[in-house]
Amino acid sequence: MLYNLFDYLDREYDLIGAGVFQFISFRAGMAIALSLLITITFGKSIISLLRKHQMGESVRDLGLEGQKEKEGTPTMGGIIIIAAIVIPTLLFAKLDNIYIILLLITTIWMGLIGFIDDYLKIKREDKKGLAGRFKVIGQVVIGLIIAWVLLSNKNVMIREFYQSAESGVAIGAPAFSDVHSLKTTIPFVKDNELDYEAVFGFAGEHGVTILYVLLVIFIVTSVSNGANITDGLDGLAAGVSAIIGMTLAIFAYVSGNAIFSEYLNIMYIPNSGELVVFCTAFVGACVGFLWYNAYPAQVFMGDTGSLSIGGVIAVLAIVVRKELLIPVLCGIFLIELLSVIIQVSYFKYTRKKYGEGRRVFKMSPLHHHYQKLGIPETKIVNRFWITGILLAIATLATLKLR
């Protein structure tokens, strides 16, 4: 919004300083600053509003230390995160950018699903909230939208380089063309481009489309549920998500910059640099939310926040063609999700075989297992953050280590 305004003022009136809005780095800096300002300044008012309307968390007694003190803490704090993402993005990003549009739709759509879930849990005192099948339907719908746009929109391009005497340049000089492609990046591999059209080619033209759509739906559903499960300790999901968001901001910047992408020999994705503005707003929202969500939490993000940030991370990874790095970058989400799957599966298996259910972990998700071991909540969160940073470094290392 402001980009278009200042671009007009710069062109028509040569307004001093207006040209600075042309720089992604400036707009990204402004986005993260505004995002932090929104969360810190308006967060207290939103928490008071949630408390006034009795939007407090009902905590089941799981025998965990400090659990009773959390009873009644306002939830739905994800509203703060969503506002701190959407408002700076609307102000500082190019709103005609297809990737920005996709991310805004994802943020609002997933936030709405989470909001309905939280509302049902609190106001209708239904501990199950929104039925699981309806959550999945909502995730499938956004996955379908993302996949359809990536498959059909002419602005979703990558740059392919080739040598050609017919390209209009000198022989031996690199030439390129921007093409629509389903190529992605394989981590830690030289010449690391993988074409889904080739991988799924056995299924035929329509089969490629169907399999790609299913892949996108699986990624969106898995990451959003992983973030949702990780949101169990004060500051855990917000801190881990901020680390992941900053890593994706770096990938978006180098992938959308012709000079850096050539230097690093990575896929150049035209117009993806604009995602840096969104990513910094996302990071600012997560970090700012910690102002009130760090131990002891004054507000929980609820499904409103966790489903939204999980969906955003999934879509960001897909559009910058780094979805195969999700198991590493989102390793915390993955291990939390796997701990639940392993626990439930093993319990059902042993109950059927031995007549009594047995457990692998003292409690799942994994962070509760460590709580049962007597490790303080703050120490668990800090160690998960450190692990998240190490995973982010490993992910960034793929830019050079192949």
Q: What is the DSSP string of 277-331?
A: HHHHHHHHHHHHHHHHHSSSPS---HHHHHHHHHHHHHHHHHHTT-GGGHHHHTH
* Share of the chain residues as helix, strand and coil, in percent rounded to the nearest 5: 70, 5, 25
Quote the CA–CA distance of 305 and 292 in Å, as a whole number. Answer: 14
CA 229 to mean position of chain CA atoms: 14
CA pair distance 135, 110, nearest whole angstrom: 9
CA 290 to chain centre: 17
Q: What is the pLDDT of residues 207-264, one digit of tens each?
A: 999 999 999 999 999 999 999 999 989 999 999 999 999 999 999 999 999 999 989 8
Q: Output the CA angle 77-63-366, nearest 5 degrees.
A: 65
pLDDT (0 to 100) of residue 129: 76
Structure tokens at 323: 């979805």
Q: What does the alpha-carbon distance between residue 38 and residue 74 come to, in Å, rounded to a whole number? A: 18
Q: How far apart are CA 390 and CA 93, in angstroms?
A: 30
CA distances from 278 to 41, 81, 111, 169, 381 (A): 20, 13, 16, 36, 26
**pTM score of the predicted model:** 0.93
Closest CA to 300 of 288, 289, 285: 289
Alpha-carbon dihedral 253, 220, 144, 107, rounded to 10 degrees: -60
Whole-number Å distance between alpha carbons of 297 and 233 = 9
Which pLDDT score is estimated for 344? Answer: 95
Two structure tokens written together for 196: 């889904």
Q: Which residue in 364, 373, 369 sits closest to 346, CA to CA?
A: 364
Per-residue pLDDT of the chain (402 residues), as tens digits, is 787 887 778 777 878 877 888 899 999 999 999 999 999 999 999 999 988 877 776 666 566 766 677 777 888 999 999 999 999 999 999 999 999 999 999 999 999 999 999 988 887 766 677 888 899 999 999 999 999 999 999 999 998 877 554 545 555 555 788 888 889 999 888 777 889 988 888 888 889 999 999 999 999 999 999 999 999 899 999 999 999 999 999 999 999 999 999 898 889 999 999 999 999 999 999 999 999 999 999 999 999 999 999 999 999 999 999 999 999 999 999 999 999 999 999 999 999 989 888 999 999 999 999 999 999 999 999 999 999 999 999 999 998 887
